[in-house]
Amino acid sequence: MELKKTADGSHTLFVPELNETYHSIHGAIQESQHVFIKNGLHYFGDKKTVNILEIGFGTGLNALLTLLAIENSSQKVDYISLEKFPLPNELVQQLNYPTQLKLDTDQKKLFNHLYICEWNALTPITNNFNLLKIDKDLADFQYETIFDIVYFDAFAPEKQAELWTDEIFSKIYDFLKPKGILVTYCAKGVVKRTIKSVGFQLETLPGPPGKREMIRAIKN
Ligand SMILES: C[S@@+](CC[C@H](N)C(=O)[O-])C[C@H]1O[C@@H](n2cnc3c(N)ncnc32)[C@H](O)[C@@H]1O
């Protein structure tokens, strides 16, 4: 695994075996902010409590941006994140997100807490952001229907076809509350068709810099 700088200056990780990066090379922070925060979290406006499920904790960037987005608000987020291959701490410590996001000392501590907190234990990171990281494969994960949003941030379908199936999307549909949403950076035709086929209403939105489109799918 190698650290790599993307076009907005923020880091991503490159996985040689997959020939794939964790984020868009056009800008990791920009992509995360656009797909998951602007078109995901903010879709629910100032809803009091938002329950989020993330597929792929990885570098923790989406969790960090979500925490920062609600930092000075009365909104509360309960965030569950699945990760099949947790990253080693030494690697995560080298990510330049604190500098890129100009985090102050307290925020840097929160960033660190996202990584060092125990797996499989619900952890209050701030008074309005609870995190539960689960080191499990999505295929083996079962849960109640409690989520408002699923951040679907798996590796691309060409690299990880087994996570972009109707079976998986149908499972995610069941995790969501009525009117809940799934957001993902991928907008391939086959993915749109699969997501639609399990019952979602599909929205194709402009993508982040360097990408034409992204998907937001709403549970009917
Ligand atoms: C594209 S990366 C994005 C990660 C993260 N959201 C980030 O911003 O760094 C995809 C992540 O999904 C994880 N992953 C892959 N297969 C998985 C599976 N079956 N279940 C849960 N997580 C998986 C990978 O290990 C990786 O961390």
Q: Which residue's C-alpha comes closest to atom 17 of ligand 1? A: 84
Which tens digits make up the pLDDT trace of 99-143? 999 999 999 999 999 999 999 999 999 999 999 999 999 999 999
- Whole-number Å distance, alpha carbon 59 to ligand 1 midpoint, is 9
Q: How are beta strands 129-134 and 76-82 bridged, if at all? A: parallel
Question: Distance between CA 9 and CA 47 in Å, rounded?
Answer: 32
CB neighbourhood size of 153 (10 A): 23
pLDDT of residue 144: 86
- Whole-number Å distance, alpha carbon 58 to ligand 1 midpoint, is 5
Ligand 1 in contact with 152 (CB < 6 A)? no
- Whole-number Å distance, alpha carbon 55 to ligand 1 midpoint, is 6
Q: How are beta strands 76-82 and 123-126 bridged, if at all? A: unpaired
Question: Distance between CA 18 and CA 12 in Å, rounded?
Answer: 14
Ligand 1 in contact with 82 (CB < 6 A)? yes
- In the predicted model, residues of the chain with pLDDT beneath 50 are none
Our measurement of the distance from residue 65's CA atom to the centroid of its chain's CA atoms, rounded to an integer in Å, reads 10
- Whole-number Å distance, alpha carbon 132 to ligand 1 midpoint, is 15
Which atom number of ligand 1 is nearest to the Cα of residue 154?
10
Instruction: For residue 154, report the phi and psi dihedrals to the nearest 5 degrees.
Output: -80, 170
Which atom number of ligand 1 is nearest to the Cα of residue 82?
21
Ligand 1 in contact with 22 (CB < 6 A)? yes
Ligand 1 in contact with 21 (CB < 6 A)? no
* Burial status of residue 55 (CB atoms within 10 A of its CB: 0-12, 13-18, 19 or more): buried
- Whole-number Å distance, alpha carbon 54 to ligand 1 midpoint, is 9
Which atom number of ligand 1 is nearest to the Cα of residue 54?
6
Ligand 1 in contact with 29 (CB < 6 A)? no
Domain ranges across the chain: 28-219
Question: Distance between CA 96 and CA 92 in Å, rounded?
Answer: 9
Ligand 1 in contact with 194 (CB < 6 A)? no
Q: List strands edge to edge, sheet with 147-152.
A: 123-126, 129-134, 76-82, 49-55, 147-152, 176-184, 213-219, 200-206
Q: Are 191 and 204 in contact (CB under 8 A)?
A: no
What CATH number was assigned to the domain covering residues 28-219?
Answer: 3.40.50.150
pTM: 0.97
Ligand 1 in contact with 186 (CB < 6 A)? no
